[in-house]
Structure 1
Amino acid sequence: MIPPRQVTFGLLGITVFISLICLHLLTELSQLDGARQKLERAVVRLQEEKLPMSSRHLSSSNDQEGAEFGDDDSVVIYNRVPKTGSTTLAGIMYSLCNTNKYFVIHIGMFHSAKTISLSDQMRFLHNITTWQEKKPALYHGHIAFIDYSKFGVKRKPIFINMVRDPLARLISFYYFTRNGDDIRPSRERQKDRTMETFDECVERDGDDCDPVNLWLQIPYFCGHIAECWIPGSEWALNKAKQNVLRHYLLVGLTEEMEDFITVLEAVLPRFFKGALTLYKNGNSHLRKTAQKLPPKPETISKIHESPIWQMENDFYEFVRDHFHYIKDQLFETDEFGRSVERGHRFQYEKIRPS
C-alpha cells in the first residue's frame, strides 16, 4: 500500500505539471492570436496593393490612422530660405499638427541672423534630439544648414527645404521691404528705403538691387562655414550641391509648390498627410508681395551678366533637376489628372529562419 504522504506529493506533482501545460497552451494561443491579427493586416495591405493605380492616390492613404503624440521620435528641420513661399508651407504645418499629432516649433533668430555659434549649434542639436516631450517635431526657421554629422547626435534629423528662381526671389524681397505683402501691407522698414522701382535701382547700380544680394540660397544650403558666405565662391556652390544630395530628404521649388507638397505627403505622411487637400482647397494662404512690378528685359539681361546670378541659377537648376527626378520616380498622372504612386518596386523574400 502506497503511503498517504507519497500519494499527496504525487497528486501535487501532477497538478503542477497540468498547470504548466495549461499555461504553455495559453501562451501559444496568445501568440497565435497576435500572428492572426498581423496576418489579417498583411492581407489587407496586399489587397490594397492590388488596387488599380487610380485608386491609390494620396487622399486614400491611411498611414496615419492611430498616430499619437510621442509615438515616434522623428525630428524634421525646415531651414526656410526667405521669400521662397515658406510662410505658406509653415501654415500647412501648423494646420495639420493637431490632426497628425506632431509638434511645430519655430526657431527664432535674433537680429535676423542666418547662422549661430558653434556652441549654439551643439545646444540646438542636443535639445531637439533629446526633448522627448516634444516629439515627433517639425522645426522651422530662417537658419543656415547645420551639419549634424559632426556633433555625434544619435538620431539624425530630417532636412527639407525649398528654393526659388534667384532673380524672382530678389525682386520679391526688394518690393517686400518697401510695400509689405497682403498679410502685412505696412512695414517699418519702408522709412529708410527709396520707393524707386527695381528697374530704376538696377539702372543706377543701387545697393538694394546689387547682384551680390542674390547670394543667399547657396550659403543657406552650404551651412555654417565661413567660405559659404563669400559671394561667388565656387567651393560654396559645390558644397551646397553636396549637402542637397547627402543631407536633405527633399528640396522643392516655389514655382512647383503643389508638386512639392504632393511628394512631401507621399514621403513623410507622418507629418504631411492631408497637406495636398489643404493646399488645393485654399486653406493655406500663399503670401503675395504688394505692388511687385515685373522687370524689363534690359534689367534681366544686366542681372544675368553677373557671375553671382549665374552661380545661384546653376544651383537652382541643379535642385530643380534633382526634384524632377525624385518626383518622376515616385508618381505618374492618372486619367483624372491625379498624382498616383507608381507602386512598390521591391519585396521581401527568402527570409531565414522562418
Structure 2
Amino acid sequence: MSTGSSVMLGLLPLSSAERTMARHEVVEVELRRSEDGGGWEADDSVIIYNRVPKTASTSFTNIAYDLCSRNRFHVLHINTTKNNPVMSLQDQVRFVRNVTTWREMKPGFYHGHVAYLDFSKYGVKGKPMYINVVRDPIERLVSYYYFLRFGDDYRPGLRRRKQGDKKTFDECVSSGGSDCAPEKLWLQIPFFCGHHSECWNAGSRWALEQAKYNLVNEYLLVGVTEELEDFIMILEAVLPRFFKGATELYRSGKKSHLRKTTEKKPPTKETIAKLQQSDIWKIENEFYEFALEHFQFVRAHAVREKDGELYVLAQSFFYEKIYPKLS
C-alpha cells in the first residue's frame, strides 16, 4: 500500500482534498490540545538515565548539560555514597518522591550510576522515561580496568583508585586477578534488572530475563556505545523538548563529548577466549546481543541511510474520518 493511501479496510481511499482536510483537522486538534496544556511532551516530563559505567555515559551526559539552557530543562546528577548502585528502601521512597513532586526541576534529566527503579511500586501517578546505553561486556570491562589505573582525558589530573598498578589486562586475566575476574562482567544485567536481590547474583538467568523485560517494557530507548550517534539522533527525533540540536553537537566533537580512557591496551585473542568460557560472560553477552538487536530494530524503523548519511524518517501515519467535524 502506497504512503498516504487509506489504511481503513473496506473503505475507498480518500481523495486529495479529503486527505488535506483530514490533516488540517488533525493540526487543529493538536493545536487545541497544546493550548489546553495537554501536550504529551509537557513541561513536567522527566527522563532518568541510569547510566552503566564505561559505556560512553559521560560523553552523552555532557551533551545534555550543553543543551539544558538552550532547550530549557534541568540536569541533575544522582551521586550515591561510594557509587553504590543499590539504594536503601528509604532512599528509594525519597528518590521517587523527589522526582515526582519536585516541580521546580521539571522538565528534568536525571543521570547517575543507579540500578533501575520501578516507580509504579510506590503508588505515585506518572512514571519517568528511562533511557540507557549498553556496551560489549568485555570491551566495557577492559575500559573500566584501565580507567581505574590511568583515568581518561576528561579529568587527567585526578588520581584513580588503582593508580600505580602497571599490570595489563592480559596479565591480570592470565594470573587470575580479581579486577578482571568474570564476576566483574556482571554489571549491565543488574543495572537493568533493578533492586531485587537476585539481580545481583552473578550468572542468574532470572536476572537476565528480568533485565530483558525491563529493557523492552520500561525503557523508551536503549542504545549501544558502538552506535552512539544513531542513539542520539533517534532521541532528538523522539524527544526534541530535551534533545533538539544534540546530533549536531555530538558530531561537532566539542568540549568533552568524546571521552577516552588513556593507556588502554586491547586484550589478546587468548584473553578474550578465556573470558568467553565463563557462564557469566555468556549470560551478559546474551543480554548485550538482545539489546543490540532491539536497538537495530528500532533504528531500522526510525531512520534511513542516503549517500552515507542517516536521516530521520518523517511522520508516516495520519488520521482519517474524524467525527464529529470541528466547527
- Distance in 2, Cα, partners of 1:191 & 1:336: 42
Alpha-carbon contact 2:26-2:319 (below 8 Å) kept: no
- Distance in 2, Cα, partners of 1:97 & 1:346: 32
Partner residue in 1 for 2:200: 229
Partner residue in 2 for 1:305: 277
1:292 matches 2:264: yes
Aligned-pair CA distance for 1:191: 5.3
Aligned-pair CA distance for 1:152: 1.5
Equivalent position to 1:273, from 220, 238, 244: 244
- Distance in 2, Cα, partners of 1:116 & 1:81: 15
Aligned-pair CA distance for 1:296: 0.7
One-letter code of the match for 2:65? Y
- Distance in 1, Cα, partners of 2:161 & 2:102: 40
- Distance in 2, Cα, partners of 1:315 & 1:107: 25
- Distance in 2, Cα, partners of 1:71 & 1:90: 21
Aligned-pair CA distance for 1:42: 3.7
- Distance in 1, Cα, partners of 2:162 & 2:121: 43
Alpha-carbon contact 2:229-2:247 (below 8 Å) kept: yes
CA displacement 1:254-299 (0-9 Å, x = unmatched):
0101101011101111100100000111125211001100111100
1:81 matches 2:52: yes
Aligned-pair CA distance for 1:40: 10
Alpha-carbon contact 1:93-1:272 (below 8 Å) kept: yes
Look up the SS of the partner of 1:238 in the other structure: helix
One-letter code of the match for 2:173? V
Identity percentage over the alignment?
52
Equivalent position to 1:160, from 101, 106, 131: 131
Look up the SS of the partner of 2:316 in the other structure: coil
- Distance in 1, Cα, partners of 2:162 & 2:221: 39
Partner residue in 2 for 1:10: none
Equivalent position to 1:113, from 84, 87, 110: 84
Greater shift in the superposed pair: 163-172 or 105-114: 105-114
CA displacement 1:216-251 (0-9 Å, x = unmatched):
000000000100000000000000000001100000
Higher share in helix? 1
One-letter code of the match for 1:195? K
Aligned-pair CA distance for 1:345: 2.6
One-letter code of the match for 2:267? P
- Distance in 1, Cα, partners of 2:248 & 2:188: 29
Partner residue in 1 for 2:295: 323
Partner residue in 1 for 2:3: none
- Distance in 1, Cα, partners of 2:303 & 2:163: 48
CA RMSD of aligned residues (A): 2.3
Distance change >3 Å, CA 274–CA 192, structure 1 → 2: closer
- Distance in 2, Cα, partners of 1:195 & 1:186: 17
Equivalent position to 2:150, from 175, 179, 188: 179
Greater shift in the superposed pair: 224-233 or 189-198: 189-198
Aligned-pair CA distance for 1:120: 1.1
Q: Which sections of structure 1, spanning at least 5 residues, go unmatched?
A: 1-37, 46-69
Distance change >3 Å, CA 40–CA 149, structure 1 → 2: closer
Distance change >3 Å, CA 180–CA 335, structure 1 → 2: closer
Distance change >3 Å, CA 39–CA 346, structure 1 → 2: closer
Equivalent position to 1:344, from 312, 316, 326: 316
- The two structures have a TM-score, normalised by structure 2, of 0.84
Partner residue in 1 for 2:215: 244
Distance change >3 Å, CA 186–CA 175, structure 1 → 2: farther
Aligned-pair CA distance for 1:145: 0.2
Look up the SS of the partner of 1:224 in the other structure: coil
One-letter code of the match for 2:104? E
Q: Which has the larger radius of gyration?
A: 1
Partner residue in 2 for 1:51: none
Partner residue in 2 for 1:258: 229
- Distance in 2, Cα, partners of 1:341 & 1:128: 33
Alpha-carbon contact 1:160-1:248 (below 8 Å) kept: yes
- Distance in 1, Cα, partners of 2:26 & 2:293: 38
Q: Which sections of structure 2, spanning at least 5 residues, go unmatched?
A: 1-22, 31-40
Alpha-carbon contact 2:85-2:113 (below 8 Å) kept: yes
Distance change >3 Å, CA 72–CA 187, structure 1 → 2: closer
Q: In the TM superposition, what are the counterparts of 1:115-154 in structure 2 within 5 Å?
A: 115-154=86-125
- Distance in 1, Cα, partners of 2:52 & 2:159: 22
